[in-house]
Amino acid sequence: MPRSFYRLSNLLQTSIRRTKHTMSEQQQRKLELIQNITDVKAAMATVPHHQKARLVAVSKYKPAEDLMHVYETGHRHFGENYVQELVEKSTKLPSDIQWHFIGHLQSNKCKTVAAIPNLFAVETVDSIKKADTLNKACISCERKEPLRVFVQVNTSREEAKSGVDPESCTQVCQHIQANCPQLTLQGLMTIGMFGRDPSETNPDFECLVDCKKKTESMMPGTDLELSMGMSGDYLQALKAGSTNIRVGTTIFGARPKK
């Protein structure tokens, strides 16, 4: 047979071996992700009243294929930090996924975010102005139902973090309820200070609980959720009363550097 045939045969065999290797890696990745989210849910189950808590799987920088592996376990709540990544993934993945936007939201991106039909909540409303802008965006996009929002509170008072001061939390919540008919006030959100000892009481979580109590006392009939806790402290957050935890690295692994 001509040498060209052998060369073609060798190329095909090489391609097949590479394909098998790739499939093997994909299968291993799927099993890894299934195990990771199973472990997180098992850990959650060790905390009393964990059934009240919602697990948001945060997939920043991870491919849509990773999300599908987790989706196939029956999980539906996923979170993204960046608008463009949220838009891209929401168009590629099943429409019954309930998306949470958990990154800093710029005013000029409100309309883009509000237009995502299966957006479950925006967790980072950090001012009255931002609430107004998002409310107008929902009107412009003609959303079928009001959009759930969390008011982000800077409980650790770090200059580099977004969020309202704890003292201003109730005012923002009252404004949303009174002046933003296209928004539903779902709860309060915080990002705890990095490096807190998970074995000790977290002052950031205590602060958000206090904000909830104060706000509910001044807004009769309001029942606010608490979005607090991430990979390093979600069990601590659940024990403190969190009803919405945002777990990324523990499920999807370390994020690639950008």
pLDDT, tens digit, 9 for 90 and up, residues 21-51: 566 788 899 999 999 999 999 999 999 877 8
Domain 3-252 has CATH 3.30.750.24: no
Helix axes 128-141, 169-179, angle to 10 degrees: 30
pLDDT at 16: 47
pLDDT at 52: 83
Q: Any idea where the domains of the chain sit in the sequence?
A: 3-252
pTM for this entry? 0.88
Give the separation between CA 118 and CA 99, rounded to whole angstroms. 6
- Cβ count near 167 (within 10 Å): 10
Give the separation between CA 125 and CA 178, rounded to whole angstroms. 15
Q: Residue 149 forms beta bridges with which residues? A: 122, 185
Helix axes 3-44, 64-71, angle to 10 degrees: 50
pLDDT single digits (tens) 164-176:
999 999 999 999 9
pLDDT single digits (tens) 216-244:
999 999 999 999 999 999 999 999 999 99
Alpha-helical (H) ranges within 45-188 are 64-71, 83-92, 110-114, 128-141, 169-179
